[in-house]
């Protein structure tokens, strides 16, 4: 009887070991499949940076082209977040939207700025990393939509590891000389403003490259 119990115990132990091995193998296969799928998605997305901006970006477009490597720039005056969303979706549909997507919008923030920003976040496809550039309006107070948007954007990387902030709002406030002779918002033609704006994007890109893509 004892011998029979020992045989049963040995068989049971063997079955458990085999089940554990299969489970481990299945988990490994699932991880490998997920990794392969991630690599497939990334291989279909053009490398580099897509910058989508408003009149502030438009004024420094030439400088950005020369100083943000592998970048394309789509900028227009009076562009709001809903219009930036349309540009992003159009590029996404045409498969021209690059891995790193910089949204430099908010100077013309509408009342539904949060809903429009969330729409951009949720509609961006897998395989991209989103960089949100906080807006700066030289005449804005905390009550302005552009300031509220900047505050909101800064909270997002904690919720989404594939979002990085390029905090232009903070940089611009620390460098009033970059806006000398301007309206306090647009610095186009000011060499210091150009350099600061490009550096703000490049610094964010350096951080983003250590972070994951959207999965």
List average pLDDT for each run of 10 residues in the chain, which is 215 residues long.
79 86 81 81 90 97 97 97 98 97 93 96 97 96 95 98 98 95 89 97 98 94
Q: State residue 20's pLDDT score.
A: 84
Instruction: Report the number of distinct structural domains present in the chain.
Output: 2
Closest CA to 168 of 106, 112, 81, 77: 106
- With vertex at residue 35, the alpha carbon angle to CA 90 and CA 23, rounded to the nearest 5 degrees, is 140
Kindly state whether residue 19 falls inside one of the protein's structural domains: yes
Kindly state whether residue 193 falls inside one of the protein's structural domains: yes
Q: State residue 118's pLDDT score.
A: 98
Q: Are residues 107 and 203 in the same domain?
A: yes
Sign of CA dihedral 191, 142, 104, 84: negative
Tokens of 56: 């502030």
Kindly state whether residue 215 falls inside one of the protein's structural domains: no
Q: State residue 11's pLDDT score.
A: 84
Q: Are residues 57 and 162 in the same domain?
A: yes
- Residue 36 has a CB neighbour count (10 Å cut-off) of 10
**Chain position carrying tokens 């040995």:** 10
Please count the CA atoms within 13 angstroms of the CA of 70 that sit on its side-chain side.
12
Q: State residue 135's pLDDT score.
A: 97
Kindly state whether residue 31 falls inside one of the protein's structural domains: yes
Closest CA to 79 of 135, 36, 41: 135
Q: Are residues 5 and 69 in the same domain?
A: no
* Structural domain for 38, as ranges: 1-43
| Dist. CA 74–CA 28, nearest whole Å | 42
Q: Are residues 15 and 59 in the same domain?
A: no
Q: Are residues 192 and 181 in the same domain?
A: yes
Q: Are residues 114 and 169 in the same domain?
A: yes
| Dist. CA 190–CA 208, nearest whole Å | 27
Kindly state whether residue 15 falls inside one of the protein's structural domains: yes
Kindly state whether residue 110 falls inside one of the protein's structural domains: yes
Q: Are residues 15 and 33 in the same domain?
A: yes
Which stretches within 44-134 are classed as H helix? 55-59, 61-67, 81-93, 113-123
Q: Are residues 118 and 183 in the same domain?
A: yes
Q: What is the value of pTM for the model shown?
A: 0.84
Q: Which CATH number is 164's domain given?
A: 3.40.50.1110
**Tens-place pLDDT, residues 6-44:** 788 888 888 888 888 888 887 778 888 878 877 887 788
Q: Are residues 116 and 39 in the same domain?
A: no
123 to each of 14, 38, 116, how far by Cα in Å? 49, 18, 11
Q: State residue 156's pLDDT score.
A: 98
């Amino acid at each position: 009887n004892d011998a029979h119990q020992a045989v049963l115990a040995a068989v049971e132990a063997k079955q458990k070991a085999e089940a554990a091995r299969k489970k481990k193998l299945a988990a490994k296969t699932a991880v490998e499949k997920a990794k392969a799928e991630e690599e497939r998605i990334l291989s279909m997305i053009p490398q580099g940076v897509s910058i989508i901006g408003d009149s502030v970006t438009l004024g420094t477009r030439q400088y950005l082209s020369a100083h943000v490597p592998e970048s394309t720039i789509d900028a227009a005056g009076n562009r709001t977040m809903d219009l930036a969303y349309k540009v992003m979706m159009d590029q996404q549909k045409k498969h021209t939207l690059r891995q790193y997507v910089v949204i430099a919008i908010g100077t013309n923030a509408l009342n539904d700025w949060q809903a429009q920003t969330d729409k951009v976040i949720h509609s961006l496809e897998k395989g991209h990393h989103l960089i949100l550039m906080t807006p700066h309006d030289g005449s804005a107070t905390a009550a302005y939509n552009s300031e509220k948007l900047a505050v909101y954007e800064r909270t997002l990387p904690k919720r989404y590891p594939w979002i990085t902030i390029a905090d232009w709002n903070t940089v611009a406030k620390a460098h009033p000389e970059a806006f000398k002779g301007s309206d306090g918002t647009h610095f186009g033609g000011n060499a210091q403003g150009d350099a600061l704006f490009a550096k703000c994007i490049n610094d964010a890109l350096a951080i983003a490259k250590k972070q994951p893509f959207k999965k």
